[in-house]
Amino acid sequence: MTINWKQEVEDRKEDLLNDLVELLKVKSEREDDKVTADAPFGPGPRDALLHMLAYGERDGFVVKNVDNYAGHIEYGDGDEILGIFGHMDVVPAGDGWDTDPYVPVIKDNKIYARGSSDDKGPSMAAYYGLKIIKELGLPVSKKIRFVVGSDEESTWKDMDYYFEHEEMPDFGFAPDAEFPIINGEKGNVSIAPHFESTNGGSYELRHFKAGLRPNMVPQDAIATIVTPSNEAATALKTAFEAYIAANPISGTADVIGEKVEIKLIGKSAHGANPQSGINAATYLAVFLQDFDFGGGAKNFIATASHVHLDVYGEKLGVAHDDEKMGKLTMNAGLFEFTAGEEGAYMNFNFRYPQGTDKETLAAGIEQSIGQYVAKLDVEEKHSGPHYVPMEDPLVSTLLAVYEEHTGEKGYEQIIGGGTYGRLLKRGVAFGAMFPGFTDTMHQANEFISLDDLFRAAVIYADAIYRLAR
């Protein structure tokens, strides 16, 4: 049987786009202060999960909701399970958008909204690939299970809970990265230095805050400083204005008597690619380090200054490069200091290749900045490096589909980003971004090209069928 997958997607383009638009309207950011027994990660992730599962019910699939943590949409029967993993949660929208991030806008053949490329758009493309197979009544010899998560951008507790109740698929992919394929992912661990929230110099750091998530480069940083005098406050403002004029940043400094309130703006990026962003927090710390701070505030500023531009962990003494997996990267993603209150800390998120581990990273950090730090917290639950060989039939089949539909040669890729693909020993990430794409994941004005969205759906339909038949 010859199936014109491109035509099948063409016949459903309007429905696919309409479903995606409605899904993108759901503000599915994790909100810990709104967690309930019914909404384990807050109402947004729950509502988006329910919305996606409702599409499966509408279209006649077997659907299961696992206590609003995760769920699945299922088709076919067989002894083996092919897993497809998407997620409905998104990182916080943040500032800098030209449009409302939860009112999808189609412009220049792109759809703009938070989640359009990570991961609601790719998930919808893969879902429609499965929907086509069902609607055509194509025979399959395996059970196909589209697993829908709701905490991928945070702790993956959705998958922990889901797999306490459901069996693990035998093999599969996550439509949550790039084509031709991602068959390797670096390890992922966060290490958090903590500080005393004290002062002691002639300048006092009242407050410093930056970052939304460990896996996002901080776009905004704010600080409140009390200076020795009104004249000193004015001088600090003048110095700050000169500093932002000389660097790739922007910002404001407001003087209120002896107090100065600073806001510095950089550029967000995915924490797996910190070199693509401009870290507002470390730029602000570099500016502040020239003033007379003392106590824990001085140590906090010194540490943040120390890691400025240190996206490969060189200043921290933990740099590592593997021939296959490439360089370790480090994103300084969260910063919090309030004078007199407990809990002053930073979060360094590492994406590390094989050949190193979290113990080695912690030891290097302790040696590098231990004199500044009150304690060092190392994330207990973390993911080590993951790799599926090119000769595995899963990898070779997916690359063959990609090559047939694009005319381009397939090749392996290893990334710092973490996807649900690594949940399975034989799991990879497959699309939906094509080579040469503009990466707007975790950034303002996130978008996906409609041409790429529909082209990905074509590839997913063929790939799912080949893997399942």
**pLDDT the model gives residue 257:** 97
Q: Which of 332, 363, 378 represents a domain boundary (last residue)?
A: 378
Q: Whole-angstrom Cα distance, residue 45 to residue 273?
A: 25
Q: pLDDT value at position 408?
A: 97
Number of helices and strands in the chain (H, E): 11, 24
Instruction: Tell me, yes or no, whether 202 and 323 share the same domain.
Output: yes
Q: Are residues 393 and 344 in the same domain?
A: no
pLDDT at residue 70, rounded to an integer: 98
Structure tokens at 443: 């950034």
Active site includes 185?
no
> pLDDT value at position 382?
81
Q: What is the CATH number of the domain that holds 181?
A: 3.40.630.10
* Given 19, 59, 74, 89, the catalytic residue: 89
Domain boundary among 316, 346, 378: 378
Which three-class secondary structure state does DSSP give residue 108?
coil
Statement to judge: residues 202 and 178 lie in one domain:
no
How many domains does the structure of the chain reveal?
A: 2
Instruction: Give the pLDDT confidence score for residue 385 in this predicted structure.
Output: 95
Instruction: Determine which one of 19, 152, 178, 310 is catalytic.
Output: 152
Say what the alpha-carbon torsion angle 401, 403, 404, 408 is, to the nearest 10 degrees: 160
Q: What is the CATH number of the domain that holds 240?
A: 3.30.70.360
Question: What is the extent of the structural domain holding 116?
Answer: 5-186+385-468
Instruction: Report the distance separating Cα 78 and Cα 427, nearest Å.
Output: 19
Q: In sequence order, which ranges of 144-200 are alpha helices (DSSP H)?
A: 157-165
Contact at 8 Å (CB) between 105 and 25?
A: no
Active site residue 152: yes
Spatial CA neighbour of 190 closest among 387, 419, 337, 380: 380
Looking at the DSSP assignment, which residues form a beta bridge with residue 352? 187
pLDDT for res 381? 78
Q: How many CB atoms lie within 10 A of CB 422?
A: 25
Same domain, 68 and 79: yes
Residue ranges of the chain with per-residue pLDDT less than 50 = none
Within 8 A by CB and 6+ apart from 110, the residues are 447, 448, 449, 450
421 vs 307: CA distance, rounded Å: 31
